[in-house]
């Protein structure tokens, strides 16, 4: 079982769309995939046509390792892709994880570790107790970065935080919401490639079809598989899978 997290300190960078589309591409490639929605807003849960409710005892039992995961995990419309949903109750995870040993999230999932090849975490923004547990649980952090000054700045802040806490989890940043018509984006993309040798080369374009995931409640591969954004996510997954 390998674990990847879609994470950024900053919101609005395409994190949830990336988590869903990468998980969908992995399942199409034959992987058994679980996506865990850790964000109380439960956008991933909504996109995958599920209700924001944690069965089997709620978030407290889930964190304590006492939840029945077979009752909590749900199927999606895609074969090979399951969901561990979020709810408003997920906002309590920071408090419940306080003081617990590192890699708690991986331990929570241990009972189903043989059932999945890949687990994708969709994480809320910010530096919190939950995010620190994410950092210690996953094999790599996939960090969406918009080619703007503020988004690039938060990537540097994340690396500084990991270095300060002696957390060795690798960062694999990639560019999202890319508009090549904008000079700022073109300049930022060049700077990004020079500054981050571990970056993933596939860029996700700014595209209205990604916003339409909300109305379709589905990943791009289910309603717009031939669009530039869908192809970009497929290329991104192929690059990630080679690294794994």
Would you list the DSSP string of 15-32?
HHHHHHHHHHHHHHTT--
Nearest CA among 147, 143, 162, 130 for reference residue 193: 147
Instruction: Tell if the pTM clears 0.85, that is, is over it.
Output: yes
Q: How many domains does the chain have?
A: 1
Domain range spanning residue 15?
Answer: 2-243
Instruction: Give the N- to C-terminal CA distance of the chain in Å, as an integer.
Output: 11
pLDDT of amino acid 176: 97
Report, as ranges of residue numbers, the positions in the chain whose pLDDT lies below 70: none
CATH number of the domain within which 221 lies: 3.40.50.300
Per-residue model confidence (pLDDT) at position 56: 77
pLDDT (tens digit per residue) in 76-96:
999 999 999 999 889 999 999
The confidence score (pLDDT) of residue 225 equals 97
Q: Is 102 helix (H, G, I), strand (E, B) or coil?
A: coil
Q: How far apart are CA 25 and CA 175, in angstroms?
A: 18
């Amino acid at each position: 079982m390998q674990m990847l997290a879609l994470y950024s300190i900053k919101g609005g960078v395409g994190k949830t769309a990336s988590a869903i589309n990468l998980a969908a591409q992995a399942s199409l490639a034959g992987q058994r995939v679980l996506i865990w929605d850790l964000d109380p807003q439960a956008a991933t849960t909504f996109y995958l046509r599920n209700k924001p409710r944690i069965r089997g005892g709620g978030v407290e039992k889930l964190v304590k390792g006492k939840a029945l995961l077979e009752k909590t995990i749900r199927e999606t419309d895609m074969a090979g892709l399951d969901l561990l949903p979020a709810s408003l109750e997920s906002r309590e995870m920071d408090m419940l994880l306080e003081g617990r040993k590192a890699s708690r999230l991986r331990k929570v999932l241990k009972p189903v570790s043989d059932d999945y090849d890949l687990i994708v975490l969709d994480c809320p923004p910010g530096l919190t107790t939950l995010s620190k547990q994410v950092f210690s649980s996953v094999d790599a952090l996939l960090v969406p970065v918009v080619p703007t000054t503020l988004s690039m700045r938060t990537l540097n802040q994340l690396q500084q935080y990991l270095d300060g806490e002696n957390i060795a989890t690798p960062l694999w940043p990639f560019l999202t919401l890319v508009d090549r018509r904008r000079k700022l984006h073109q300049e930022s993309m060049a700077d990004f490639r020079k500054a981050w040798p571990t970056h993933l080369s596939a860029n996700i374009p700014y595209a209205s079809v990604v916003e339409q995931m909300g109305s379709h409640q589905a990943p791009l591969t289910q309603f717009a598989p031939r669009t530039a954004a869908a192809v970009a996510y497929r290329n991104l997954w192929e690059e990630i899978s080679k690294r794994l």
